[in-house]
Amino acid sequence: MIVAGAFAGTVALGVGLGFWASADDSGPAGSASRQPSASGSADSPGTSGGSPKPSPTRSYALSKAPATIPAVRSHTAARGPGWRPARGARVVVSDADLADEGRLIAGELGMTYAGEKDDVRAGDVRLALGDDEGADPESYTMTVRGGRVVISGPADAGVFYGTRTLKQEVHDGGTAPEGVVKDEPAKPVRGFNLDIARKYFTAGWIEDRVRELGDLKFNELGLHFSDDQSFRIESDSHPEIVSKQHLTKAEVKKIVDLATSRHITVVPEIDSPGHLGAVIAAHPDLQLRNTQGVAARGAVDISKPAAADLVDDLLNEYADLFPGGQWNLGGDEYQALMVSNPSASYPQLAAAARSAYGSGGTVSDLTTGWLNDRADTVRAHDRTMRAWNDGFYAGTSVQPDKDLQVAYWTGKEIGARQPVAYLSAGRKLVNYNDEFLYYVLGQPNTFVYPTGERIYEQWTPRVVRGTQAVPAKYDAQILGGSFAVWCDLAGSQTQDQVAAGIRMPLRATVQKLWDPRKPALTWPQFRALADRLR
């Protein structure tokens, strides 16, 4: 059996006497667990197909830590038969708030969901909320003892993650090892970002990814649904901008509801003031043009109030569709600031900047003001916002709002700044490092498809740009990271090829976001474990 994670604590090593404490008891187990068989199961004498039963005549080897992705942070070994699901055995909860988690794991393991119960039966899985004041709400404790399992946590998210660990442990006939798992994530943001604007992905495909992400303990799904090529979600306020191939609001609501049931926040992104080509196609009067009348691809003219009004209409509309607490404002690659002399090329923007911010106002000031104004719109819906790092401009008199988090993806933009420039200013940051975490269809420019092996062996959340880590003192400001699929050359892969291509990178990414230590498994071992847990 491959050992994932690390042992923590000590247990009595004596021969089992066949007596187990209650699964709700916090005392040490009175018996210890023999090794699972090569298939990962541990049959107990006198049982047939059910959960292993204690035996007074058999001693058990000390249990090993469960082999899961991501690896559990600690496992206190014990002696005992471990646990396997038996058809008809119960999943019970100690709090009605855990009903959804209980029904889900019961259905997955072929067990019976029995609701709130106080009695104790052999083979039970009990889900409970604890009162661990100040504990990470995504943490959990799982105790396997006496032929029963108790998963507890300070909040339902942690209990859910405990059920994901249990599901992996007993996958394909495996046994949950005797002992106690204590587990929590290193980073609060564990994301997957999907570009559905450049390439249409079916609602069913996205739902499959949500289930995959949930089982891997990811907690964010970013949806980039507006860009130059298409606008992919039904709109009531501006139906004229919606592409023919799109998701209906009913389909999106189903995705959001599924994600919520897996404790995944869907993070929408309407990128602006660049990447708005699909919107501009229906509103050509909003197109940004230079002094020669040449259009700036995807860019709206932010000197025109109508551009702000239209984008605000969309932000307000979709706030109801995406009720989660996070929002991506975009802000990257505005073409007006990707020329040598923005004021000369776009004098209307320069004039608007001076009008808004005085004689020293610049196009960068005006663009920063645009970002802040959109933040005001979204903030009214009580969201926490982030923007791409190249939407934060240096040397401006207008500063980006202090509550904007940095979604750091590149060091290739004009006037590129190192991550420390943002961190030293006190910004919180989410790591989207395009050197490791960008799966760009067709591999344009200098992009190559990232591999799970490279992420697993070389990347950490502190490796924000390129291959060098930022100083450890900034670790707490790095909220986590997000693996991203971008569909620049949309026809390069089918959606099924995308799913296969990102399978191992996703697993490697979440391993590094969940556990800050060097992985205990080699890459071949980790890959073999992932194949076994399919």
pLDDT tier at 16, thresholds 50, 70, 90: very low
436: closest CA among 409, 418, 416?
409
Average pLDDT over residues 106-121: 96
Rounding to the nearest 10 degrees, give the CA dihedral for residues 342, 343, 345, 346: 100
Least confident of 31-40, 389-398, 423-432, 494-503: 31-40
Model-level pTM?
Answer: 0.89
User: What pLDDT, on a 0 to 100 scale, did the predictor assign at position 53?
Assistant: 54
| Cβ atoms < 10 Å from Cβ of 55 | 18
Residue 142: helix, strand or coil by DSSP? strand
Beta bridge partners of 125: 91, 149
> Cα–Cα distances in Å, from 226 out to 98, 243, 272, 437?
36, 10, 9, 21
318: closest CA among 261, 364, 256?
256
Say if residue 323's pLDDT is above 50. Answer: yes
Angle between helices 305-321 and 249-261 (to 10 degrees): 50
Least confident of 62-66, 412-416, 453-457: 412-416
What's the helix, strand, coil split of the chain in %, to 5? 35, 20, 50
Average pLDDT over residues 33-57: 39
**pLDDT single digits (tens) 368-397:** 999 999 999 999 999 999 999 999 998 899
CA–CA distance, 394 with 390 (Å, rounded to integer): 10
Say if residue 355's pLDDT is above 90. Answer: yes
Beta bridge partners of 334: none
User: What pLDDT, on a 0 to 100 scale, did the predictor assign at position 109?
Assistant: 97
Q: Are 221 and 194 in contact (CB under 8 A)?
A: yes
Provide the percentage of residues in the chain whose pLDDT is more than 70. Answer: 89
User: What pLDDT, on a 0 to 100 scale, did the predictor assign at position 134?
Assistant: 85
Q: Outline where 339-435 has alpha helix (H).
A: 342-345, 347-357, 363-379, 419-423
Say if residue 337's pLDDT is above 50. Answer: yes
376's CB contacts (< 8 A; 6+ apart) are none
Which DSSP string do the residues of 298-324 spell out, in sequence order?
EEE-TTSHHHHHHHHHHHHHHHHH--S
> Cα–Cα distances in Å, from 177 out to 37, 216, 343, 494?
12, 19, 66, 40
Residue 50 per-residue DSSP state: S
Q: What is the mean pLDDT of the chain?
A: 90
Q: Any idea what the Cα angle at residue 196 is, between residues 191 and 199, rounded to 5°?
A: 135
**pLDDT single digits (tens) 214-263:** 999 999 999 999 999 999 999 999 999 999 999 999 999 999 999 999 99
191: closest CA among 504, 522, 485?
485
Enumerate helices (H) and strands (E) in the chain, giving the number of each.
13, 18
pLDDT tier at 24, thresholds 50, 70, 90: very low
β-pairing verdict for 478-486 and 189-195: parallel
Q: Are 391 and 416 in contact (CB under 8 A)?
A: no
CA–CA distance, 469 with 216 (Å, rounded to integer): 25
pLDDT tier at 415, thresholds 50, 70, 90: confident
CA–CA distance, 371 with 389 (Å, rounded to integer): 12
**pLDDT single digits (tens) 131-184:** 887 899 999 999 999 999 999 999 999 999 999 999 999 999 999 999 999 999
Beta bridge partners of 112: 90
- Residue recorded with tokens 């949950």: 176
pLDDT tier at 14, thresholds 50, 70, 90: very low
In this structure, is the dihedral angle defined by the CA atoms of residues 337, 341, 345 and 350, taken in order, positive or negative? positive
**pLDDT single digits (tens) 72-97:** 999 999 999 999 999 889 999 999 99
**pLDDT single digits (tens) 461-478:** 999 999 999 999 999 999
Provide the percentage of residues in the chain whose pLDDT is more than 90. Answer: 86
CA–CA distance, 153 with 137 (Å, rounded to integer): 7
Beta bridge partners of 113: 91
Q: Which amino acid is at 104?
A: L
User: What pLDDT, on a 0 to 100 scale, did the predictor assign at position 359?
Assistant: 97
pLDDT tier at 2, thresholds 50, 70, 90: very low
Rounding to the nearest 10 degrees, give the CA dihedral for residues 288, 291, 297, 298: -10
In this structure, is the dihedral angle defined by the CA atoms of residues 293, 296, 298 and 303, taken in order, positive or negative? negative
Residue 433: helix, strand or coil by DSSP? coil
253: closest CA among 328, 160, 320, 311?
320
Q: Are 384 and 326 in contact (CB under 8 A)?
A: yes
User: What pLDDT, on a 0 to 100 scale, did the predictor assign at position 34?
Assistant: 30
195: closest CA among 244, 253, 268, 258?
268
Say if residue 366's pLDDT is above 50. Answer: yes
Average pLDDT over residues 16-30: 31
pLDDT tier at 202, thresholds 50, 70, 90: very high
Average pLDDT over residues 270-290: 98
